Amino acid sequence: MTEQQLREQMVTLARSMFERGYATGGAGNLSLKLPNGHFLATPTGSSFGRLDAERLSVVDIDGNHISGDRPSKEVAFHLAIYRNNSECNAIVHLHSTYLTALSCLEGLDTDNAIKPFTPYFVMRIGKLPVIPYLRPGDPRIAEELAKRAADYRAFLLANHGPVVTGSDLIDAIDNAEELEETAKLALMLDGKSIRYLSDEEITDLQGRGK
């Protein structure tokens, strides 16, 4: 896809997420890798419902602002993931309701906040490590994500929300939506007797693709 097509895709997909309630107000941010090696990101303070293709931010791998409006304050953590995972070409950060609710719970397993009970979670996400709470925009979020970026496709920022990667923006958003629905189910099932997938069933799903 050309840069112009990728700009228009970001605007269209962001609006769709906004209209379906995955993003509200000015929360969340998106980025994707451009054909020239730069990165397209949502401007800081922008709403997913009202992005302008011509005003999207462009930054280089070192975070230098190349063009467009001022980039998201989280662009440093997006770049930390790209630097450490060559398979990642797009990133979605949301404050979606169920994942954010999950991120506020005490006693989460920090290696994997959602114990698998459906195949698609295993196939699309695998595991969901929890990043300790840091205020939005804190440069240490990038350090924490850099340490884990090579090994995971998604992360849960404690008391904040998810960060989800993909091979392109459609893939990253599909992963984010699947993860949000899985968190919704996990919270619906809280306190009920769940039949979790067995280790054997999880192993059988791993490496089969989506």
Ligand X SMILES: O=C(O)[C@@H](O)C(=O)COP(=O)(O)O
Could you give the string, one character per residue 73-112, with x where binding to ligand X holds by CB under 6 A and - elsewhere?
A: xx------------------x-------------------
Q: How many CB atoms lie within 10 A of CB 91?
A: 29
44 binds ligand X (CB under 6 A): yes
DSSP string, 22-36: SS-TT--EEEEE-TT
Q: Which of 125, 143, 137 is nearest to 80 (CA)?
A: 143
Shortest Cβ distance from residue 75 to ligand X (Å)?
A: 8
At 73, the amino acid letter reads K
Q: Is 82 a catalytic residue?
A: no
Indicate if 74 belongs to the active site.
Answer: yes
Nearer to ligand X, 33 or 160 (CB): 160
From 14, 18, 28, 88, residue interacting with ligand X (rule: CB under 6 A): 28
Q: Which is nearer to ligand X, 29 or 165 (CB)?
A: 29
- Determine, following the binding rule CB under 6 A, whether residue 69 of this chain makes contact with ligand X: no
Give, for 69, the enclosing helix (H) or strand (E).
none
Residues 52, 63 contacting (CB under 8 angstroms): no
Task: Output 42 or 89, the one with its CB closest to ligand X.
Answer: 42
Q: Is the separation of the CB atoms in 67 and 57 below 8 Å?
A: yes
Output Rg (C-alpha) for the chain, integer angstroms.
Answer: 17
Identify the active-site residue in 22, 74, 98, 180. 74
Q: Which of residues 101-160 bind ligand X (CB under 6 A)?
A: 136
